[in-house]
């Protein structure tokens, strides 16, 4: 009985992720997701413009995009980007162009007073889908994210164990950490939002976030693949 129980325990351990390894991954994932980047700028900008609740719509889209990127990276897209300078350049240019586009649009935005919530009805459903789509696109068009998953996951995946069950733990964990960091920044931005009741302040914030998006896009152009 003891031998069969021990054998069953060994099989279970071989097919599941070690808890200490998972905790280490959570620590790394939190460090990465809390670090400023395009997604963090996006959620703060959305929180200031639309409120923390609606900002999380974009964050949900970003989390979905991260799941797609992680799945693609583990399926070999990360290897392709690392090996093909042309593929890397294409994704890099697409991501940079989108960030610069967001920056220009944010810079030119003339939002109403942020001290008042947007009126219900109207174009709210379209606005929600737009926020969601932007979140997805920010995740999908960042080659740094793809290469990050390609470099990070192998450090926590044990080759002696089935890979799929481990990925089914790691990928949702990273997405959850992403949502947690976005919720933190959205709530942090709430305090800033209550201080913005004048058009001149709103314009200043729009230009700060717009300039940041453009800077991130230009910075992305300087990113080099491993083949460069």
Q: Encode pLDDT of 89-142 as tens digits.
A: 777 787 678 778 777 877 876 654 343 434 344 444 448 889 999 999 999 887
Q: Read off the pLDDT band of 197 (50, 70, 90).
A: low
pLDDT number for residue 159: 61
What average pLDDT does the chain have? 74
Task: Report the range out of 7-16, 17-26, 148-157 with the highest average pLDDT.
Answer: 17-26
Distance of CA 43 to the CA centre of its chain: 10
With bands split at pLDDT 50, 70 and 90, how would you rate the model's confidence at 180? very high
Look at residue 121 in the predicted model and tell me its pLDDT: 41
Q: Please give the pLDDT value at position 58.
A: 94
Q: What is the pLDDT of residue 201?
A: 64
Q: What's the average model confidence in pLDDT over 12-20?
A: 61
User: What's the mean pLDDT in 153-169?
Assistant: 75
142 touches 95 (CB < 8 A): yes
CA dihedral 47, 49, 54, 58 (to 10 degrees): -80
- Residue 203: phi and psi, rounded to 5, are -65, -40
- φ, ψ at 6 (rounded to 5°): -65, -40
């Amino acid at each position: 009985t003891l031998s069969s129980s021990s054998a069953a325990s060994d099989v279970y351990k071989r097919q599941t992720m070690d808890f200490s390894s998972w905790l280490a991954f959570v620590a790394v994932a939190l460090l990465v997701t809390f670090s400023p980047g395009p997604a963090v700028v996006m959620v703060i900008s959305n929180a200031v413009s639309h409120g923390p609740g609606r900002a999380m719509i974009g964050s949900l889209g970003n989390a979905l995009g991260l799941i797609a990127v992680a799945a693609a990276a583990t399926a070999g897209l990360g290897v392709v980007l690392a090996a093909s300078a042309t593929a890397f350049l294409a994704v890099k240019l697409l991501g940079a162009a989108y960030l610069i586009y967001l920056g220009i649009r944010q810079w030119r935005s003339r939002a109403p007073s942020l001290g008042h919530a947007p009126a219900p009805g109207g174009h709210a459903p379209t606005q929600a889908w737009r926020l969601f789509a932007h979140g997805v696109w920010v995740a999908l068009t960042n080659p740094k994210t793809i290469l990050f998953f390609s470099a990070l996951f192998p450090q926590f995946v044990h080759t002696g164990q089935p890979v799929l069950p481990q990925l089914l733990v790691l990928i949702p964990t990273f997405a959850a950490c992403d949502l947690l960091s976005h919720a933190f920044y959205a709530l942090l931005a709430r305090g800033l939002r209550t201080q913005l009741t004048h058009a001149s302040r709103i314009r200043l914030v729009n230009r700060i976030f717009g300039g940041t998006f453009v800077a991130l896009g230009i910075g992305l152009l300087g990113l080099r693949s491993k083949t460069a």
